[in-house]
Amino acid sequence: MAKEKLVQEITNMEDDFAQWYTDVVLKADLVDYSGVKGCMVIRPYGYAIWELMQKEMDARFKAYGHENVYMPMFIPESLLEKEKDHVEGFAPEVAWVTHGGSEPLTERLCVRPTSETLFCEHYKNIVQSWRDLPKLYNQWCSVVRWEKTTRPFLRTREFLWQEGHTIHATPEEAIEETEQQLNVYAEFCQNVLNMPVVKGKKTESDKFAGAESTYCIEALMHDGKALQAGTSHYFGDGFARAFDIKFTDKDNKLTYPFQTSWGTTTRLIGAIIMSHGDNNGLVLPPKVAPIQVIIIPIASHKEGVVEKATEIKERLEKKFRTKIDLSDKQPGWKFAEYEMKGVPLRLEIGPKDIEKNQCVLVRRDTREKYFVSLDELETKVAELLEDLAKSIYNKALENMEQHTHACTSIDEIKACIEKNGDGFIKAMWCGDEACEDKVKELTGVGSRCIPFDQEKLSDTCVCCGKKADKMLYWGVAY
């Protein structure tokens, strides 16, 4: 039996996924449009989700010894140009400041698209000896990239992110850091956002500008499109050489250090929406839900109902993020409102429940109802939140598995897309960039990553037929 749709204003995702997404971000009070084209207002509910994500990630970074710092938002043009590949990679997206007040600047200032150059300038001032290493830094800030096409959270001209920057005495330490942080991101996505990801390495043509290698996590959204959920970059000593950063090693020799950077952004909120949402709105992972339990009194005008609901709130808020809605709106309206906002659990309490020393708990993902003794309430809430988290992860994993297909030829890829729509395509690749480009040209799917978990689907490249020993994930990306 189909579930009753409580929120009629949302476009069905099956009819128009892009419009469904826009409806959800606006009507769940996550964002508003701004007078600045391509920028968004992150409303309190949306920002509360980001704050919880920050808290979870920040704790993980600090557990590995990282410290938070803050760099300027402006980068002098001469500083940006010190690393040639880096500046060329970002040139099309850079916003420039040319005037200070009414006076033209003697040198243009770039509004940071990323902060590698600023960190390099700082490292040069503070790193002299091997005893100064490693430096394990992270920055929470906003960056600006002048995107042509924008969508809330997924791609905006200004967005929030964290960018980790570290510097090490040896390449082994730096590579270990790069891989470690990728694993941190993967664990965060899976255990906090309840979103499965594929871990892998970007191809040479798709790596970060100025990096020796880029690692990534790729997620698959409900509509079959891929979303890059986080990246971690190993720079070798390229930036150090460009900025003349040297240190005296343990053998008293002057040498160059090795660097990394890694980042995730507010696009992860878009990933949550598109991984778990349904036609009634958001479905939030419990660990980043601003409200984990919403209490709705039933027949609140009757004696003792509001008092009992308030008593329950005071109990639950010691362990869970809990809110009570005492407004004069009808219960059905409240149910729809908090379903739209993705609140994991709804608690209903009315006169008959009070008589029986019970309440009703309703899960957001399945809308199943549970009649729960008030004596066991905290235990049952914890159990349901944990089970909901596992269930939405498994549902997203099933979606990924159902939309991942192995192909051994261009014709197979075309047939697979025609039959199944978007999704991940697994196919062998010879390593030639020309083949990588041709697959995209002929099929519309681009390379996403070389997964760490390799499979040998055949001996030959999906494009040219030559010997191939790498399996790639391909897909259409946001």
Residue 247 within any structural domain of the chain = yes
The whole-number pLDDT of residue 173 equals 98
Give the residue numbers spanning the domain of 417.
404-475
348-370 pLDDT tens trace: 999 999 999 999 999 999 999 99
- CATH of residue 309's domain is 3.40.50.800
The whole-number pLDDT of residue 2 equals 44
Of the pLDDT bands very low, low, confident and very high (cuts 50, 70, 90), residue 4 is low
Give the Å distances, CA to CA, from 475 to 15, 351, 383, 402, 416: 21, 54, 37, 14, 12
**Which tokens hold the place of 228?**
């890059």
Q: Is the pLDDT of residue 81 over 70?
A: yes
Of the pLDDT bands very low, low, confident and very high (cuts 50, 70, 90), residue 84 is confident
The whole-number pLDDT of residue 6 equals 53
Residues 189 and 335 in one domain: no
3-state secondary structure the chain: CCCCCCCCCCCCCCCCHHHHHHHHHHHCCCEEECCCCCCEEECHHHHHHHHHHHHHHHHHHHHCCCEECCCCCEEEHHHHCCCHHHHHHHHHHCEEEEEECCEEEEEEEEECCCCHHHHHHHHHHHCCEHHHCCEEEEEEEEEECCCCCCECCCECCEEEEEEEEEEECCHHHHHHHHHHHHHHHHHHHHHCCCCCCEEEECCHHHCCCCCCEEEEEEEECCCCCEEEEEEEEEEECHHHHHHCCCEECCCCCEECCEEEEEEEECHHHHHHHHHHCECCECCCCHHHCCCCEEEEECCCCCCCHHHHHHHHHHHHCCCCCEEECCCCCCHHHHHHHHHHCCCCEEEEECHHHHHCCEEEEEECCCCCEEEEEHHHHHHHHHHHHHHHHHHHHHHHHHHHHHCEEECCCHHHHHHHHHHHCCCEEEEEECCCHHHHHHHHHHHCCEEEEEECCCCCCCCECCCCCCECCEEEEEECEC
244-300 pLDDT tens trace: 999 999 999 999 999 999 999 999 999 999 999 999 999 999 999 999 999 999 998
Residues 145 and 248 in one domain: yes
92 or 182, greater pLDDT = 182
Residues 117 and 207 in one domain: yes
275 close to 396: Cβ distance less than 8 angstroms: yes
Residues 241 and 92 in one domain: yes
Residues 298 and 361 in one domain: yes
Residues 119 and 52 in one domain: yes
Residue 118 within any structural domain of the chain = yes
Residues 76 and 101 in one domain: yes
Residues 100 and 218 in one domain: yes
Give the count of alpha carbons within 13 A of 44, CB side only.
Answer: 1
- CATH of residue 148's domain is 3.30.930.10
Cβ neighbours of residue 101 under 8 Å, at least 6 residues apart?
A: none
Give the Å distances, CA to CA, from 30 to 25, 47, 50, 112, 373: 5, 8, 10, 25, 34
The whole-number pLDDT of residue 1 equals 35
Phi, psi of 199 (to 5 degrees): -95, 140
122-153 pLDDT tens trace: 999 999 999 999 999 999 999 999 988 899 99
- Do the bridges between strand 74-76 and strand 103-111 make them parallel or antiparallel, or are there none, so unpaired? antiparallel
The mean per-residue pLDDT over the stretch 82-102 comes to 86
Q: What percent of the chain has pLDDT over 70?
A: 98
- CATH of residue 441's domain is 3.30.110.30
Report how many domains make up the chain: 3
Residues 377 and 420 in one domain: no
Q: Is the pLDDT of residue 468 over 70?
A: yes
Residues 171 and 24 in one domain: yes
374-397 pLDDT tens trace: 999 999 999 999 999 999 999 999
The whole-number pLDDT of residue 112 equals 94
Residue 424 within any structural domain of the chain = yes
Q: Is the pLDDT of residue 478 over 60?
A: yes
Q: Is the pLDDT of residue 87 over 80?
A: no
- 384, 414, 448: which is the final residue of a domain? 384
Residue 284 within any structural domain of the chain = no
Residue 283 within any structural domain of the chain = no
- 276, 311, 340: which is the final residue of a domain? 276
pTM score: 0.95
Residue 57 within any structural domain of the chain = yes
The whole-number pLDDT of residue 8 equals 56
Give the count of alpha carbons within 13 A of 209, CB side only.
Answer: 19
- 249, 276, 303: which is the final residue of a domain? 276
Residues 43 and 190 in one domain: yes
Residues 268 and 313 in one domain: no
Residue 420 within any structural domain of the chain = yes
Residue 9 within any structural domain of the chain = no
